[in-house]
Amino acid sequence: MELFSLEFWTTLLSIVVIDLVLAGDNAIVIGLAARNLPKQDQKKVIIFGTIGAVIIRALATLGVVWLLKIPFLLVIGGAVLIWIAIKLMVEEKEHNVEAGGNFWAAVRTIIIADAAMGLDNVLAVAGAANGHGLLVILGLAISIPIVVWGSTIVLKFIERYPVIIVVGSAVLAWTSAKMFVSEFMKFDSLAGLFSNPFIKYGFEIALVIVVVAVGLSIKRSQQAKKAEQASQEHKRAQGE
């Protein structure tokens, strides 16, 4: 991949989108961890916690970038990304994070929580980067400050426009498809087939459509069950 080529910019954009969509909850963690501290310490905790989280996230992602060069791990990683993409659309997340009682306790909470919650982010970014460490660093450098200091705005947009989650899931599915294709290209029997742009892009588009359709279908089914349960509870309450 040539530096600053069209492929470079589109890959960087996909990394930033993945970071913003998957790291929205991490922004909430930062706020919850610092909420019990004095106002004058909250900004410092956010800065120190974020720096620590970014360093760990970057090292973990670069490590996964290297691991994905091992045969067949791209296929495994791609399959996991499909699961993450569907989970992103259907899961309702809770944020039970203990507030730090002192400065360094809050910083530690932010770093540990970010590392635990960021596993899906690490895999997704590593897959999108396709072996390019520079893209990992640039993507984190662009998206992390937005998540930390613009978290309220980002979260409001996600709540107001749920389609952003669908777009994020589609980007994850597209990243998964590219990981599959990269693995397929290592085999002579498949390399010729997927060298055809119609087959390559057709496969990627088809996978994105299937993943988004499955996610939306599960989400609608969940909403229908909740509506039915609420209706039954309402009827029981009226009967009493």
Residue 54 lies in a domain: yes
Task: Reduce the DSSP state of residue 186 to 3 states and report it.
Answer: coil
Alpha-carbon gap, residue 81 to 87, rounded angstroms: 10
Is residue 125 situated within a structural domain?
yes
Determine, yes or no, domain membership for 30: yes
Give pLDDT, residue 168: 77
Number of domains in the chain: 1
- Give the domain range for residue 43: 6-239
Radius of gyration of the chain (CA): 20
Cite the beta strand spans of 58-174 per DSSP E. Answer: none
Give me the pLDDT at residue 29, please.
58
Nearest Cα to Cα of residue 30 among 195, 151, 134:
151
State the pLDDT confidence band at 152, using cuts at 50, 70 and 90: low
Contact 33, 151 (CB under 8 A): no
Question: pLDDT class for 233, splitting at 50, 70, 90?
Answer: confident
1 belongs to a structural domain: no
- pLDDT at 77 (0 to 100): 78
Residue 139 counted as domain residue: yes
Listed range (9-18, 127-136, 195-204) with the worst mean pLDDT: 127-136
Give 214's pLDDT tier (boundaries 50, 70, 90).
very high
Q: Which residue has the higher pLDDT, 173 or 120?
A: 173
Q: 119, 116, 126: which is closest to 176 by C-alpha?
A: 126
Contact assessment for residue 162 and residue 169, using Cβ atoms and an 8 Å cutoff: no
In a domain, 154, yes or no: yes
Average pLDDT on 134-151 reads: 70
pLDDT band at 101 (very low <50, low <70, confident <90, very high): low
Evaluate if residue 212 carries a pLDDT over 80. yes
Q: Which tens digits make up the pLDDT trace of 34-86? A: 666 777 777 777 777 777 777 877 787 778 777 767 777 778 878 888 887 88
Residue at 178 is within a domain: yes
pLDDT of amino acid 88: 75
> Rounded mean pLDDT of the chain?
76
pTM of the model: 0.64
pLDDT at 228 over 80: yes
Asked whether the predicted pLDDT for residue 123 surpasses 90, the reply is no
Please check whether residue 89 lies inside any domain of the structure.
Answer: yes
